[in-house]
Amino acid sequence: MRRAGFTLVEVIVVISILAFLMAILSPLLSRSREQARTTVCASKIHDILLCLQTYDPENGSLPCGLRSPTKQAPPGGYAGDGSIDPAGWWWFNNARVLQRKSIRGVRGLQCPSKRLDDAKLKGNILHANYGMNLSLCKVDARFPPYDVDEFQGSPLSMSTLTRPSETFLVGDSGYALICWWNAAKKPPVTFGNFAFDTAYVPGLEINAEKNVLSGEVRDAVGGRHPGKMINLGFVDGHVYRHSASLLLVEKIGENEWNTSPVWRRK
């Protein structure tokens, strides 16, 4: 007489095979999801570059990285947390990357691969998303120690930059504004606890010794994309994925640092 169903041994064998397959497939699926997020991140940076490339010729320069508060707040209100972030019109307000603080608009400025352990920071678009190169966009207000000619004053124009394909403009960052000081092993200044001071290039080894917010340590030290890669957007409009170490700045002379790819005007 033919028996119905499976024996206990057959069930165990099937379960074992499924478990084995899941053990093999899970890492592959995880890597696939990470790669997809990295691709989405690069697409968002490309969209930001398009907005900046439209803004620059219309206004004669890149947008101001942070413009002092005026009587009129940006559409949707000021970005960030008033207890740790300065208020004002940020580059994404000025260049109309973010016209309103709608869910859709905010998501366009959020990196899908960021790794934060602080729920409060996860919703703050200034932290652990994308940062503009402060040497190019500059600020119009006095923010010590950034109140030097390189970072304060009128923003530069793309047309005045002689190496646009090598000049870093916007990319993965620990803060909405970032400068080469934040990527230097031995920066020329001593940082405090100001929001700008916590900026970092995700995945740089030096971040383990830097003053970053506690909720950003995993993102800063462990990196954001597979292999501690970062997405970088350049002045000429192309987006490039490379090891975070590409942006490391080291002192090579008395008052000289290597800043390649170009952080500073060349």
pLDDT of residue 99: 78
Residue located via tokens 């989405």: 40
Residue-wise pLDDT for 170-224, tens only, equals 999 999 999 999 999 889 998 888 888 999 999 999 999 988 998 999 999 999 9
pLDDT of residue 5: 64
> Given pLDDT bands bounded at 50, 70 and 90, which one contains residue 56?
very high
pTM for the model stands at 0.86
Round to whole Å and give the CA distance between 127 and 199. 8
The dihedral through the CA atoms of 62, 103, 114, 38 has a sign that is negative
> Given pLDDT bands bounded at 50, 70 and 90, which one contains residue 233?
very high
Round to whole Å and give the CA distance between 106 and 98. 7
Cis peptide before 261 (omega within 30 of 0): yes
Alpha helices by DSSP H, listed for 60-162, are: 91-94, 103-107, 119-122, 134-137
* Radius of gyration for the alpha carbons in the chain, expressed in angstroms and rounded: 22
> Given pLDDT bands bounded at 50, 70 and 90, which one contains residue 62?
very high
Residue-wise pLDDT for 112-158, tens only, equals 999 999 988 888 999 999 999 999 999 998 888 999 999 999 999 99
Find the Cα–Cα–Cα–Cα dihedral 51, 54, 59, 60, rounded to 10°. Answer: 110
pLDDT of residue 9: 74
Round to whole Å and give the CA distance between 82 and 79. 8
Comparing CA positions, the residue from 216, 181, 214, 215 lying closest to residue 202 is 216
pLDDT of residue 222: 94
> Given pLDDT bands bounded at 50, 70 and 90, which one contains residue 30?
low
pLDDT of residue 3: 56
Round to whole Å and give the CA distance between 54 and 107. 21
Residue-wise pLDDT for 73-89, tens only, equals 898 889 988 888 999 99
Mean pLDDT score of the chain, rounded to an integer?
Answer: 89
Round to whole Å and give the CA distance between 133 and 19. 48
Quickly count: other Cβ atoms within 10 Å of residue 82's Cβ.
8
φ and ψ of 228, to 5 deg: 55, 40
Distances in Å between the alpha carbon of 26 and those of 17, 23, 37, 129, 244?
Answer: 14, 6, 17, 27, 27
| Residue type for position 71 | K
Alpha helices by DSSP H, listed for 60-148, are: 91-94, 103-107, 119-122, 134-137
pLDDT of residue 126: 95
Round to whole Å and give the CA distance between 156 and 75. 25
> Hey, what are 95's tokens?
């260049």
